[in-house]
Chains A and B, each alone.
Chain A
Amino acid sequence: MQKHIFFSIQKPALEMREISALKRSAGFFNSLIQIHNISRGGFANCKYALKVMSLNWRVGDLCQIKIEGLDAELSCMVFTDLINDYFQMLYTNHKRVAHEVTLSYQHSLESPFPFYFHQQKVDPETQYKKNKILLSLARMITSTHYKPLLSALLEREKISATGISSKIAMPHIISDLVDKPWIIVLPSDKNIYWSSHFSNIHLIIAIILPRNASTQVFKSIIKLSCMLLNPAFSQLLLQSNDPLEIETLLIYCFKY
């Protein structure tokens, strides 16, 4: 069983009491419990205080507690509580508490701007072909004016394909056809050929911004783009199938 928790650290280092709380709690369980710094790289087993201490931290870093083992469910519950006490909690995928508990944390992680968020698996009817996926995407935004939106997306792809890493494509346009930013996340079970060097695309993150979007919006999207250069962060998006988790990770990028 595998469980995980995301949080961000608000200080340039972990304090002794935090390190010993992690160690003490990890000692109760058989599961392997690791702390990862996603932003900066590096991880340590929570049971080894010295190792945890030797990790690098900076204010705002995205961190993850990763739990693997038979008692993962129970330890995730305990660690969810612990993380919430000591750090800025972002997300836990603990089954029971996850929904009611994390929902209240979502308030503290309000997006700096409103946007439409939509996540669904790539429709098999698209036959996993790029153009048909872009069509389905345009139709998610508008059922009536999707044609000009589609041609704008295709036009952009013609200049250069929008594959951005080995598994992620990020089609993005600025358009008069939307009134609020749209972010559509489409995970795919099958490889998609994106007519770029990055050929085996498994996740599409589409971004459609209104032409009059604020500087704040542009800045946030740029932060997200740069965060996607981090393979550890991309991996989190690729592995997740929970829309709330993906949205939380996106908002984290916008804020930090």
Chain B
Amino acid sequence: MQKIVAVTACPTGIAHTYMAAEKLTQAAQSLGLHIKVETQGAMGIEHKLNAQEIANADIVIIASDIKINELHRFDSSHIFFLNIEDILIDAIKTLKTCLPK
């Protein structure tokens, strides 16, 4: 099973961060993929990804309109940067763009 880790963030941190996280989780489930989503919002960093989870991930996604905290954790990963609005419109389609063809 492909392992995905993702970080979501938005400027205010009360809506888009969590909506995108929810959408990504639903989409991954329906595609039969394993996902863990870290949220960086008004509640601070939740479900924080550790070094091992990042190293073991097949796909790393950052969905944010702003610069995320602790980006350096992903220095040795290939990152897919996704647009939050695209995820809200069609999460499955957007997630598929990150999967190997």
Asked if B43 contacts A222 (CB within 8 A), the reply is: yes
- Shortest CB-to-CB span from A223 to chain B, Å, is 9
Which residues of B does A touch, CB under 8 Å? 10-12, 14-16, 18-19, 22-23, 41-43, 65-66, 84-86, 88-89
Contacts A160-B65, A226-B18, A226-B19 given; does A197 touch B12 at CB 8 Å: no
Contacts A173-B12, A174-B14 given; does A164 touch B43 at CB 8 Å: no
Give bound CA distance, A42 to B56, whole Å: 39
Asked if A174 contacts B42 (CB within 8 A), the reply is: yes
CB within 8 Å: A-B pair count:
62
Chain A residues numbered 137-171 whose CB sits less than 8 Å from any CB in chain B? 156, 159-165, 170
Asked if A222 contacts B15 (CB within 8 A), the reply is: yes
Contacts A196-B85, A226-B22 given; does A218 touch B43 at CB 8 Å: yes
- Shortest CB-to-CB span from A113 to chain B, Å, is 13
Asked if B66 contacts A222 (CB within 8 A), the reply is: no
Known A221-B15, A229-B19; further 19 A-B contacts with Cβ < 8 A: A156-B12, A159-B11, A160-B65, A170-B15, A172-B12, A173-B12, A174-B14, A174-B42, A207-B14, A207-B15, A219-B43, A221-B14, A222-B14, A222-B43, A225-B16, A226-B18, A226-B19, A226-B22, A228-B19
Asked if A164 contacts B41 (CB within 8 A), the reply is: no
Give bound CA distance, A48 to B77, whole Å: 55
Asked if B14 contacts A209 (CB within 8 A), the reply is: yes
Give bound CA distance, A170 to B17, whole Å: 13
Give bound CA distance, A160 to B14, whole Å: 14
Chain A residues numbered 90-135 whose CB sits less than 8 Å from any CB in chain B? none
- Shortest CB-to-CB span from A130 to chain B, Å, is 15
Asked if A159 contacts B65 (CB within 8 A), the reply is: yes
Asked if A222 contacts B18 (CB within 8 A), the reply is: yes
Contacts of A239 in B (CB 8 A): none
Contacts of B16 in A (CB 8 A): 160, 164, 225
Give bound CA distance, A161 to B15, whole Å: 12
Considering the complex, give the chain A residue whose CB is closest to the CB of B83: A160
Considering the complex, give the chain A residue whose CB is closest to the CB of B19: A225
Sorted from nearest, which 8 A-B pairs have the closest CB atoms?
A225-B15, A160-B65, A218-B42, A222-B18, A221-B14, A159-B11, A226-B22, A225-B19
